[in-house]
Chains A and B, each alone.
Chain A
């Protein structure tokens, strides 16, 4: 019983190992010897310079360097950002919080709306289907873009421009914060909605003709009992997996929205880091996103495991 779940955790660890190698390789493969450029940087102290140099000592073996890198990562020491002259950890932490906030708001909106809309029966279902087909046909970034333009037209807002290179400043006033959050969160919701809608609709459709649900209706159970005790559990498995995927992409799904709306999250920072070849920031960002992705899948597995008694007994 525990074994099957332990296997999943083992798989997740293997995956994490592979991804960490990838990130490490990314950092190692950065072209050009950047110590030369580094030493010219006036903002870097000799001490940090030494620390960096030690970490990627070309004479040490690859495995040795990998172990050192992992140990440093585990201690929260993710290296120094070249572009911002600060520790990667201090740079990323507030950004990650902002991104999480935005993504969670978008995810919650999409799931609420998606489940409610998918449960609509009869002829209105066709309308919902058309809506989801329309949203599905517009690529997410384009959707965000159009939303932004519409908002600018309607409210004659000053165009939001992105300045990712400036240090992160927190929003002082909660009201401003929510106002600033509303639009990008809506864009996230609309982008994610068709996915939820399609899966929920087809899940409910399949569940309604499932033998167990048919039996509940033949036995004349009241509609709410049929919905909550038979249809929902029947349709839940793929939805739980989808939810896990959503949780997993909390950090990585919002790149375009963040860039477009100037949301001070992880996306613009990583993008800028990629363009400026600030590789330690990129590696740390990708690693953390992968970690979130893997944990999302693991959480989905756990939920599935709790929901489906057959899974609990299936040996891995």
Chain B
């Protein structure tokens, strides 16, 4: 299908971008350039000022107007030739050098402009996306694994454990998760090393997000357990381990995958919410939420619309993830309607003419 192909290409693009962030980013995300605050996105042209064709792309650099903040002259921009595949040194630590995709002689090209402190928006977008995705993927993985374990235990063990686990799940689901996320995070020490803050961010999201997938997986485990093929396996003398390995896991795996893909965009939104409200990733690390926090002043966004870059980067990513979630949910034998049935604890159609049998 064409939409799946588009989604695959998109995911591949984002993956490459984030995996090789050091290469694709043109500058250090934390590097400040006080001389160029709120620089608009810079264009590239192939003609020199005299109108002659120029094979090497030229960066159009506008000159700051002296004495004014974030004002750039429209006249006579400097045309700086771009250089490709350049080793640049990090400003903090000159010993580490990165191979960048391109650079200009005295710094970086700002294809997406700069922010308040003159930091390159494109580079922050790449590094920030990497961290945002890393946090949300690991949180989603942790939440799905917990949900899988809880689901199998609740779905396969006796009614007592099942009931207890499901009450716990309901309690977790009864709390408005965004508030809980913020409140729990706010209780933890605010000033912590950036790496720790990012890890805490992922942990808090996983601790809150496992409940709903656990409920769905438990329903599926329950249904698989009551199926005739499990009955036959038990009659033949199969051990619980055999049933989990050959019947429960294959039944739950596609569903767990779907839940994972559904959790990822939720957790991306969660990370953005946390960082937007200043509870997530902190300097010198950068994430999309962190970048959008700068956009809290709407007047700034209206004046400097390139600060919204994470939003535009997010939409294709979410589109691709949703396509994959859709695919994996339709490919599994559990259709959407049966998923919602487990989700909402709807009854299964009574089997006609059979006496109630429990085991």
Instruction: Pick the residue among A159, A199, A206, A275 that contacts B298 (CB under 8 A).
Output: A159
Nearest B-chain residue to A134, judged by Cβ: B319
Instruction: Pick the residue among A31, A137, A285 that contacts B319 (CB under 8 A).
Output: A137
| B 71-91 binary contact with A (CB < 8 Å = 1; else 0) | 000000000000000000000
Give the Cβ gap from B190 to chain A, nearest Cβ, in Å.
9
**In contact, B301 and A149 (Cβ under 8 angstroms):** yes
Assuming the A-B contacts A31-B187, A202-B337, A238-B341, are A19 and B347 also in contact, with contact meaning beta carbons closer than 8 angstroms in the complex? no
Instruction: Pick the residue among A11, A138, A249, A274 that contacts B186 (CB under 8 A).
Output: A274
CB contacts under 8 Å to B, within A194-218, are 198-199, 202-203, 206
Instruction: Pick the residue among A18, A159, A241, A285 that contacts B299 (CB under 8 A).
Output: A159
In the assembled complex, the Cα of A206 lies from the Cα of B167 at a distance in Å of 31
Cβ contacts under 8 Å, A146 to chain B: 311
Nearest B-chain residue to A255, judged by Cβ: B178
In the assembled complex, the Cα of A18 lies from the Cα of B180 at a distance in Å of 14
Cβ contacts under 8 Å, A249 to chain B: 176
Assuming the A-B contacts A159-B298, A203-B337, are A237 and B273 also in contact, with contact meaning beta carbons closer than 8 angstroms in the complex? no
CB contacts under 8 Å to B, within A139-193, are 139-142, 145-146, 148-149, 152-153, 159-161
**In contact, A15 and B171 (Cβ under 8 angstroms):** yes
**In contact, A142 and B314 (Cβ under 8 angstroms):** yes
**In contact, A199 and B269 (Cβ under 8 angstroms):** no
Nearest A-chain residue to B175, judged by Cβ: A290
**In contact, A286 and B265 (Cβ under 8 angstroms):** no
Q: Is there a chain B Cβ closer than 8 Å to A308's Cβ?
A: yes
CB contacts under 8 Å to B, within A259-301, are 270-271, 274-275, 277, 282, 285-286, 289-290, 293-294, 297, 300
**In contact, B265 and A133 (Cβ under 8 angstroms):** no
Q: Is there a chain B Cβ closer than 8 Å to A29's Cβ?
A: yes
In the assembled complex, the Cα of A142 lies from the Cα of B323 at a distance in Å of 19
**In contact, B346 and A241 (Cβ under 8 angstroms):** yes
Assuming the A-B contacts A138-B315, A237-B346, A277-B186, are A152 and B302 also in contact, with contact meaning beta carbons closer than 8 angstroms in the complex? yes
**In contact, A139 and B337 (Cβ under 8 angstroms):** no
Q: Is there a chain A Cβ closer than 8 Å to B174's Cβ?
A: yes
CB contacts under 8 Å to B, within A31-82, are 31
Cβ contacts under 8 Å, B273 to chain A: 141, 256
**In contact, A274 and B337 (Cβ under 8 angstroms):** no
Cβ contacts under 8 Å, A16 to chain B: 174
Cβ contacts under 8 Å, A241 to chain B: 340, 343-344, 346
**In contact, A26 and B311 (Cβ under 8 angstroms):** no
CB contacts under 8 Å to A, within B312-337, are 314-316, 318-319, 322-323, 335-337
Q: Is there a chain B Cβ closer than 8 Å to A136's Cβ?
A: yes
Cβ contacts under 8 Å, B319 to chain A: 133-134, 137
**In contact, A19 and B174 (Cβ under 8 angstroms):** yes
In the assembled complex, the Cα of A160 lies from the Cα of B173 at a distance in Å of 33
**In contact, A289 and B265 (Cβ under 8 angstroms):** no
Interface centre among A16, A19, A30 (most CB of B within 10 A): A19
Cβ contacts under 8 Å, A2 to chain B: none
Cβ contacts under 8 Å, A311 to chain B: 347
Cβ contacts under 8 Å, B186 to chain A: 274-275, 277, 282
Q: Is there a chain B Cβ closer than 8 Å to A224's Cβ?
A: no
In the assembled complex, the Cα of A145 lies from the Cα of B269 at a distance in Å of 13
Instruction: Pick the residue among A30, A134, A289 that contacts B179 (CB under 8 A).
Output: A289
CB contacts under 8 Å to A, within B238-282, are 265, 268-269, 272-273, 277-278
**In contact, A139 and B269 (Cβ under 8 angstroms):** yes
Instruction: Pick the residue among B269, B277, B316, B336 that contacts A271 (CB under 8 A).
Output: B277
**In contact, B174 and A294 (Cβ under 8 angstroms):** yes
Cβ contacts under 8 Å, B189 to chain A: 31
Q: Is there a chain A Cβ closer than 8 Å to B12's Cβ?
A: no
Interface centre among B174, B189, B302, B340 (most CB of A within 10 A): B174
Give the Cβ gap from B295 to chain A, nearest Cβ, in Å.
8
**In contact, A293 and B344 (Cβ under 8 angstroms):** no
**In contact, B167 and A138 (Cβ under 8 angstroms):** no
Cβ contacts under 8 Å, B318 to chain A: 136-139
| A 241-262 binary contact with B (CB < 8 Å = 1; else 0) | 1100000010110011000000
Nearest B-chain residue to A198, judged by Cβ: B336
Give the Cβ gap from B279 to chain A, nearest Cβ, in Å.
8
- Residues on B close to A: CB < 8 A? 167-168, 170-171, 173-176, 178-180, 182-183, 186-187, 189, 265, 268-269, 272-273, 277-278, 297-299, 301-302, 308, 311, 314-316, 318-319, 322-323, 335-337, 340-341, 343-344, 346-347, 350
Interface contacts beyond A145-B311, A238-B341: sample of 9 additional A-B pairs, CB < 8 Å, sorted by A: A26-B187, A139-B265, A141-B272, A159-B298, A160-B298, A252-B176, A271-B277, A289-B179, A314-B347
Residue contacts A-B, CB under 8 angstroms, 20 given: A18-B167, A19-B174, A19-B175, A133-B319, A137-B316, A138-B318, A141-B273, A142-B311, A149-B298, A161-B297, A206-B335, A237-B346, A238-B346, A252-B179, A255-B178, A270-B179, A275-B278, A282-B179, A289-B179, A290-B175
Question: What 9 pairs across the A-B complex have the smallest Cβ distances?
Answer: A252-B176, A241-B344, A18-B171, A137-B319, A238-B340, A159-B298, A289-B176, A137-B318, A274-B186
